[in-house]
Chain A
């Protein structure tokens, strides 16, 4: 079974721009979660989608948004980029939206904002 894939792997943007990141979960998985990872803050939860519905949301500003498609693929959008948005963005998929279900992480998208 193919793992979680994320595209692009690396991205460089300038302040004020917007960016869209993509995540394809493991086949059959319906839950996709997004995380931001920075050296100072560690992993922080952004949001979770299950069957195209946002199930949970972390404490991030409205500039961070996401969606999930009927094939479970998910996209994350960040508008009006700030320098502090530079981070590794990870997505994780699981079979169901249940805290005991194991999450499988993708390799991440490294976003650099200049």
Chain B
């Protein structure tokens, strides 16, 4: 299957600082990437859809000024959590479309655990 990486795998930061998370498709080009958030023992909640070369589409309730998404190339999308607060602590996971048998298949990265103190 297609490989998606994320960096960092975990990060601890102080309240008020910004944190950038990278998502890379390693062996394929991804015109569309997705950012999810997952709280403990809960399902994946879609935050935004990232399209290469254009603005991200955010889900209702997700603050676009707080969660900045940049999809600068066909293999890289970044999520920046600005002015992070303890309630932003969560597991952030990206995914990307790959060709595959079904064009809609999403392959997920390993996730980034964010802890805001």
A complexed with B? no
